Amino acid sequence: MSRPSAGSLRFASIGALALVALAASAPGAASQSVEIRQPTGVVELFTSQGCSSCPPADRVMTELSKSDDTLALSWHVDYWDYLGWKDTFGSPESTRRQRAYAVSLGSRSVYTPQAVINGRMDVVGSRGKAVSEALATLAGTDKGLSSGAIQAKADNGVLTVTVPQAPQSAGSTLWVVYFDHGSTVAVKRGENKGRNIVYSNVVRSMEMIGMVGDKPLVAEFRLQDMGRRGYDSCAIILQKKTGEGTPGPIVSALVLADLPR
């Protein structure tokens, strides 16, 4: 399902706040723990509850979300809402990110379901084999994710994220992306009327931590504060920008599952 040209998802910049705040541990923080894993690939699916072509792609994302090797993120766009069903997760921020990728990838239009792999290429999101092949192809080259570009540890209720100074990280931006692992939506109108659709890893908030300069970037987060946002998981993404200022290649990523509530 395509459209030519270019619930609430919150984009924000926490900048210096992430670098110096959130460091003091809360009472009982020593008992907090979080699973940290490092994927070898990132798949961003641009989808919509109002798109009849999207449920097969949503199922692909559910399968991908079960893999420790893949960070699968579902971005719900809002430009199909006019068809009769307002996407409960849809947001203009998701639409803007997809359109920015269109500029980065040299495309004249956006479509759903679109899967962007490592910020470098796109395939039709419902074609699970094509998505898997793209992940495997990039993982075996310098276009795969770097395993050492982001380092993280959780201690005494505080998550410390470090981006060491390295050529591949220079000029990149560090982001934290909050998402919900799984949700089922009963669609009552529009092209998917009467369907109960399972959505996985739905992005709800994306915040900029900072940019990598000529020295290591260090950010600290209190796990309790992260969990209080109400989302069960988050990812740390290191991503470059293109010359046009749009999202470029993803350098590295971390996934934090089961945030403390």
pLDDT at 104 over 90: yes
| pTM (predicted TM-score) | 0.88
**Residue 36, SS3?**
strand
Residue 256 is encoded by which pair of tokens?
A: 């934090």
The DSSP code for 231 is -
**pLDDT of amino acid 1:** 57
**pLDDT of amino acid 148:** 87
pLDDT at 28 over 70: no
Higher pLDDT, 142 or 25: 142
**Residue 95, SS3?**
helix
Residue 95 is encoded by which pair of tokens?
A: 């639409």
Instruction: Kindly report, residue by residue over 131-171, the tens digit of the pLDDT.
Output: 999 999 999 899 999 988 999 999 989 999 999 988 889 89
Instruction: Kindly report, residue by residue over 172-202, the tens digit of the pLDDT.
Output: 999 999 999 999 999 999 999 999 999 999 9
**pLDDT of amino acid 9:** 59
Domain boundaries, the chain: 7-257
pLDDT at 2 over 70: no
pLDDT at 232 over 80: yes
Environment class of 199 (CB within 10 Å of its CB; exposed 0-12, middle 13-18, buried 19+) = buried
φ/ψ region of 5 (left if φ > 0, alpha if ψ in -120 to 50, else beta) reads left
User: What is d(CA 183, CA 198) in angstroms, rounded to the nearest whole number?
Assistant: 6
**pLDDT of amino acid 10:** 53
**pLDDT of amino acid 135:** 97
**Mean pLDDT within 113-132:** 98
**pLDDT of amino acid 229:** 86
The DSSP code for 25 is P
